Amino acid sequence: MTRISRRNLIAGALAGSASLSAPMLWAQGAAHRVVILGGGIGGATAAKYIRMINPEAEVTIIERDRTYYTCPRSNDVITGVLDLDTITFDLSSHRNNYGVKTIYDEVVGVDFDAHLVRTADGSDVPYDRLIVSPGVDLMIDQVEGHSHQAAETVMPHGWKAGPQTMNLRRQFLNLRPGGTVVIVAPPNPFRCPPGPYERASMMADHFRHHNPTAKVIILDPKNKFTKQGPFTKGWERLYGYGTENALLEWVPEEQGGGVISVDPETMSVETAAGTFKGDLVNVIPPMQAGRLAKALGLTNETNWCPVDQATFASTLAPDVHVIGDSCIAGAMPKSGYAANSQAKMLAHVIRSELQGQPLPVPSFANACYSLVAEDYGVSIAAIYAVNEEGKIVSTAGGVSAIDDKPNRPVLEAVYQKNWHRTFAADVFS
Amino acid sequence: MKGLKMTRFLTLGTALAALAAPALAEERRPTGELIAMNCGTCHGTYGRAFNDSMPPLAGMNPDKLVNAMIAFRDDTRPGTIMSRLAPAFTEEDYRAIAEYFAAQEPIPYPPEESE
Amino acid sequence: MKPIVIALALGLTAGAATAGESAAEPALGTGELARLFAEMPPGDAENGAALHQEYWCSSCHGPSGAAQSRNYPSVAGQVESYTYKVLQDYRAHRRSEGDGRSALMVASVQKLTNQELADLAAYYASQPRPAPSGPKAKLSEATLALITKGDPQRLLTPCASCHGADGAAGVRPETPALAGLEAEYLEHTLLQYRSGARANDTAKGMRFFAQQLTEAEIKELAAYYAGLGE
């Protein structure tokens, strides 16, 4: 990604600080131009739904890549139970069915005052409303000893699906008998909270069938993780977790799991609990808001984007909304489902403003299935609303119950596949 | 019944759910349309997905949908995800969601190709 | 003469390798089918009722087996031996039309024993049959003839000879009752037999039938059976 010119951005950021107190109404008679930076799950959902319920809005997506690979189910691709095709999508339906314009280019700056997006080829794209949905930035440099080169080769992250997924898959499926996989889990907050644990689970499932002396070790800077109860129970049932010959181990921070440094030369990871060597080392780095958001001045000191949680309007720039992983969304996790839900809300906010109606009462959802094994699923689900303090809170939800009903995890594994199919169609079809 | 039934909490150690509900209960509710759009993520855009796990909701008889949500909320119908989501909404919400979906064009049965 | 015997005698094979051909395990042969029923344990409907909840059957098929939505048919009041046979077919991947269509049923019954399948079958058989799911259908003369007389030209015996005069099933243990089932489900089923995607019918009995029918006839028959029942 090209470096954003600081000149433009500083100018833009300062100029834009004036009128932030009230949502700006669409100028009478002006074209309702919505420009969306990022054509991933958040951006693509926003484009489609805005067009669906606001046919008078002109929507343009500016995106660097022509192909999108969903992180959901990428763990299945890594472990060889799914092909890449099933997680491969593009914006052709957006163009053909919803009249969304697509510009495949990089963004080099935004003039918040003049309401213009400057792309790398020198064009200026005008907007009335800007939506920024750039995902996450993986802070490889924050991992001592790690490098961008190593992240593309021997210590991939697999946290942006596509070539990274296939790299991991190749290395994983070629693991020697009795080999070791080391997964370095990231600190909070990060994209896809259950991801590292599902990945380890699917690897252990593969070992169970194909490489029973291999093992996967998760090194964690945290002491707990999402769906921990159901995951742990599944690991006990399936992988001998907690016993001598367990296929899977989890080293939390309090047992020294926090990583001090990595060494791509020797494929080793140094922690307080000692040095771990892996035949495959999957380093999932700490994360921040997508680089574009930061470069545009949309992040605060936490390096995530503060927004009005009822409208996702940025608190740092006028007429800008930030959705998806990059934004601070109260109790909502950083998941594809959440980005999709926020995008839908945004379509309603825009419609209310276009029609001069009061802003809609927010409602959001998140549901997430994780595979503990190919035929064993667990899930989390919640509904969200905005409380009196303007913060997104959960009003109901929970994780899979842990009980002895044999069909519960069986059904949830089937639901995972079906959910992905419907979800992807909701975003990209 | 007005107000949110707080029978379930996120089991992530957050007590946010307990604090949240009262502030919202007496205020305006989200529209059936907005809630239903979030249902679409699993049940298909406009409730028009056809797979064995998540039934299509487009064109569903509204009483059936309301009764299903009540059954999931009260745990008289075993669910997985639905049992955890249904308690977030009031019965008026269920009716609003049901009326929205009832008005959607049902999806035809999928053609006979292998997936 | 039974159509299956005719088909075999004349070397007619329905469902040659086509795009819709199922990847499932082959259907039970005639002898295996007979053995399945001979070995079917007596079912305990009370235990079946408990299993119906415990294994999430009620979640999709309704509190007492009457359809809740378009993708799960009614199972209430179904012929006990038929239900047993079709659950066995799911468990053994003989009825397996592909991901997104029957994967849920295949997964749901993996952990159930033969006794438990029989218990479920007994429970469903004990439930009242569904009310008609559609209006009483007006049949064309030609299609009515298919039901009551069959069509010798196409080697089709009457539907009623297996499925009963009122669609409430007939002499053979592997034949389901059709009365009151949803029209689009019945139509969909016949189309699946027609394409070979559904292939759990012994000796391709239903596949042969469905291949001889036109799409218009399939639609009419489906609407007719949906409208039957009290």
pLDDT at C100: 67
Q: Nearest-CA distance from C179 to chain A in Å?
A: 30
- State yes or no: pLDDT of B14 exceeds 50: no
Q: Which amino acid is present at A259? A: V
Q: Check whether residue A300 and residue A271 sit in a common domain.
A: no
pLDDT at C229: 79
The average pLDDT across C49-59 equals: 95
Write out pLDDT tens, residues A373-417: 999 999 999 999 999 999 999 999 999 999 989 899 999 999 999
CB contact under 8 A, A361 and B4: no
Helices (H), C138-178: 141-148, 160-163
Contact A357, A390 (CB under 8 A): no
Contact B97, B39 (CB under 8 A): yes
The average pLDDT across A126-144 equals: 97
In a domain, A422, yes or no: yes
Q: CA C103 to CA B99: how far, in whole Å?
A: 31
In a domain, B17, yes or no: no
In a domain, A328, yes or no: yes
How wide is the angle at C-alpha C74 spanned by C-alphas C69 and C79, nearest 5°?
170
Q: What is the CATH number of the domain that holds A22?
A: 3.50.50.60
Q: Check whether residue A375 and residue A339 sit in a common domain.
A: no
A60 φ/ψ angles, rounded to the nearest 5 degrees? -125, 130
pLDDT at A280: 98
- State yes or no: pLDDT of C139 exceeds 90: no
Is residue A411 less than 8 Å (CB to CB) from chain B?
yes
pLDDT at C19: 41
In a domain, B94, yes or no: yes
Q: Are strands A116-119 and A124-126 parallel, antiparallel or unpaired?
A: antiparallel
Number of domains in chain A: 2
For residue C171, what are its two tokens?
């002499």
| C63 backbone φψ class: left, alpha, beta (φ>0; ψ -120 to 50) | alpha
Number of domains in chain B: 1
Q: Which amino acid is present at A429? A: S
Q: CA A39 to CA A103: how far, in whole Å?
A: 10
Last residue of a domain, one of A303, A336, A357: A357
CB contact under 8 A, A367 and B85: yes
Write out pLDDT tens, residues C57-68: 999 999 999 888
Q: With contacts defined as CB-CB under 8 Å, which chain C residues touch B71?
A: 63
In a domain, B24, yes or no: no
**Cα→Cα distances B22→A349, A387, B89, Å:** 24, 9, 13
- State yes or no: pLDDT of C14 exceeds 90: no
- Residues C15-29, buried b or exposed e (16+ Cβ, 10 A)? beeeebebebeebbe
With cut-offs at 50, 70 and 90, classify the pLDDT of residue B23: very low
Q: What is the CATH number of the domain that holds B89?
A: 1.10.760.10
With cut-offs at 50, 70 and 90, classify the pLDDT of residue C102: confident
In a domain, A79, yes or no: no
Q: How many residues can be counted in chain B?
A: 115
Last residue of a domain, one of A312, A330, A357: A357
Q: CA C167 to CA C227: how far, in whole Å?
A: 10
Q: Check whether residue A256 and residue A390 sit in a common domain.
A: yes
Q: Residue window 48-87, chain A: list those with CB within 8 Å of chain B.
A: 49
Q: CA A131 to CA A127: how far, in whole Å?
A: 10
Last residue of a domain, one of A308, A332, A357: A357
With cut-offs at 50, 70 and 90, classify the pLDDT of residue C130: confident
Write out pLDDT tens, residues B48-84: 988 778 999 999 999 999 999 999 999 999 999 999 9
The average pLDDT across A339-356 equals: 95
Tell me which of A73, A404, A410, A415 to substitute to probe the interface with C (most C C-beta atoms closer than 10 Å).
A410
- ipTM over 0.95? The verdict is no
In a domain, B81, yes or no: yes
In a domain, B20, yes or no: no
DSSP H or E segment with residue C211: helix C205-212
DSSP string covering C71-98, please?
A: TB---TT--HHHHHHHHHHHHTTSS---
- State yes or no: pLDDT of B16 exceeds 70: no
Q: Check whether residue A132 and residue A147 sit in a common domain.
A: no
In a domain, A30, yes or no: yes
In a domain, A76, yes or no: no
In a domain, A89, yes or no: no
pLDDT at A31: 58
Q: CA B46 to CA B62: how far, in whole Å?
A: 15
In a domain, A96, yes or no: no
Contact A285, A278 (CB under 8 A): no
pTM greater than 0.80: yes
- State yes or no: pLDDT of A18 exceeds 50: no
pLDDT at A133: 98
For residue C135, what are its two tokens?
């209006």
pLDDT at C170: 77
With cut-offs at 50, 70 and 90, classify the pLDDT of residue C230: low
The average pLDDT across C23-42 equals: 94
Range of the domain at B71: 30-102
Q: Check whether residue A257 and residue A386 sit in a common domain.
A: yes
- State yes or no: pLDDT of C9 exceeds 80: no
pLDDT at A23: 44
Going along chain C from its start, the domains and CATH numbers come out as: 3-13+132-226 (1.10.760.10), 30-126 (1.10.760.10)
Contact C160, C147 (CB under 8 A): yes
Q: Check whether residue A418 and residue A397 sit in a common domain.
A: yes
pLDDT at B18: 39
In a domain, B108, yes or no: no
With cut-offs at 50, 70 and 90, classify the pLDDT of residue A14: very low
Q: Check whether residue A352 and residue A238 sit in a common domain.
A: no
The average pLDDT across C195-221 equals: 93
In a domain, B107, yes or no: no
Tell me which of C60, C99, C113 to substitute to probe the interface with A (most A C-beta atoms closer than 10 Å).
C99
In a domain, B7, yes or no: no
What is the distance between the terminal CA atoms of chain C, rounded to a whole angstrom? 32
Residue for token pair 């946290």: A159
Write out pLDDT tens, residues A172-200: 999 999 999 999 999 999 999 999 999 99
Range of the domain at A277: 140-285+367-428
- State yes or no: pLDDT of A367 exceeds 60: yes
In a domain, A188, yes or no: yes
Of A360, A418, A426, the CB nearest to B31: A360
With cut-offs at 50, 70 and 90, classify the pLDDT of residue B26: low
Q: Nearest chain C Cα to B77, which residue? A: C59
Is residue C142 less than 8 Å (CB to CB) from chain A?
no
The more confident residue out of A282 and C8 is: A282
Range of weakest confidence among A4-8, C91-95, C196-200: A4-8
